[in-house]
A and B are shown apart, each in its own frame.
Chain A
Amino acid sequence: MSFILGRGEFEPQHEFVLPPWINLDFGWIDLSVNKAVVYLLVGAAITILLGIWTMRFGLSLRPSKRQTTGESIYELVYTQMAESSLPHMKAIRTWFPYIAALFLFIWVVNMIGFIPLPISDEHFTIAGVELPTWGIYAATANLSVALSLALMTFFVTHVEGVRYNGTRKYVKSWIPAGVPKFLVGPIFVLELISQFMRLISLSVRLFANMLAGHMLILVFIGLIFIFETAALAIIAVPVATIIYIFEVAIVVTIQAFVFALLTAIYLGGAIEPDH
């Protein structure tokens, strides 16, 4: 992680400021490449390589360790998410790749967020050579990234709901059976709000968890600089390490799993509302 290393200065949120590295501002839309985009691209490249490496080459009926890893990932997503949440084989076949790709992509982007990489706005100089500072940053700790992924899920969920049931039946499925007529209107409004709440909960859960993990690590290490006391490292570094291990070992996977699982559940509910 990189810091503003002035005496007593500590602004961890600066880690999440994204100045453009390659300016692609078209006026109506700013597609500038920044740190988050680079992390996304690196994450995508690693996801693709990981997927292809574990699930494509040298496959055999007697699997190697590599193939076993690929099959474990596949089985995890297939049985725990797709099969348990989607109502029938047609839906599983259609949506399994999306759910699996979502899980792998979020997991990899989360994970590389905890690996120190030389992808940073800040630089340091060694022997006159300017080098990027090594730091940790998770693209998923950015609301825009999490919201974009949640929006895709939101979009495909309702498209599938309408495609399978028709607009009328799908919208009617939001109202629970047996509701008195005078309550249909308010409940419909509540359901409509809850559909948008799904979007917010899906995105904020991922974003906030990843952001909180990074912030906690940054703050504990930053305490050393705030108090300008090296002795604080005795407490701050172990605590930050524990948080780091907790994040890498648990939060990274859980967040990816929850996001993908909720996507599967939402899709299953939309395809067959009685499911």
Chain B
Amino acid sequence: MMDALLSATLLAEGASESSGNELIEVVPGLMIWTAVVFLITFFILKKLAFGRISDMIEQRRDRIAEALDEADNARSEAKTLLEEHRQLIADARSQADDVLAEARRQGDAQRDRVKAEAGADLERRLEENNKTIEAENRKLLEQVRREVVELTLIAAEKVTGKTLDADDQRRLIDEAVGELDFDRIARSN
């Protein structure tokens, strides 16, 4: 193994002596080739590749900037709209409360009025009914009085056997009517 390593080292040393300098040899022709080939590559890339991709990146940057601006505007607009919306909702709620309160107030007033009107109407009707009843009572009493008078006259004529004159009739009527209790009659009706 050591022999083999030694021989390898010797071979490497021999190689270095024979052609090792070629590794660090500067060859002007190859340098010129390198410069020419690189410069051609540079000009072609500059002309055909870098400009296009640069434009595209710029365009995208602009679009992104626009999109961000639009997003900012949309956000602020949405914020404004939200504020307006909130305000509208608050106004609507306030108006609804007002309307409700007004409706309640009007309802209460209406109820009171209707109640008062109904009360007054009832009073009026009761009064009218009382008046009608009194009138009817009076009419009935008059009728009863007339019938009592007629019956009294007929009875008196039959008892006395003579026709009564006007003074007799008046006296008899007053006596008969005076004996009648009209209040009891009215109550029984």
Contact = CB atoms under 8 A, between A and B. Distances in A.
B53 A74 contact: yes
Nearest to B34: A148
Contact of A97 (B7, B27, B45): B45
A100 B52 CA distance: 14
Interface residues of B, number: 44
Nearest to B30: A144
A29 B35 CA distance: 15
B52 A40 contact: no
Contacts of B22: 13, 16-18
Contact of A31 (B11, B32, B42): B32
- Identify which of B29, B31, B35, B57 gathers the most chain A CB atoms within 10 Å of its CB: B29
A116 B162 CA distance: 174
A117 interface: no
29 contacts: A10-B11, A10-B15, A11-B15, A13-B16, A16-B22, A17-B22, A24-B29, A30-B27, A30-B28, A31-B33, A36-B30, A40-B34, A40-B37, A44-B37, A44-B41, A59-B56, A61-B59, A71-B57, A74-B54, A104-B45, A105-B38, A142-B27, A143-B24, A144-B28, A145-B34, A152-B38, A211-B23, A223-B8, A226-B8
Interface of A: 8-14, 16-18, 24, 29-34, 36-37, 40-41, 43-44, 47-48, 51-52, 54-56, 59-61, 63, 67, 70-71, 74-75, 96-98, 100-102, 104-105, 139, 142-145, 147-149, 151-152, 211, 223, 226-227
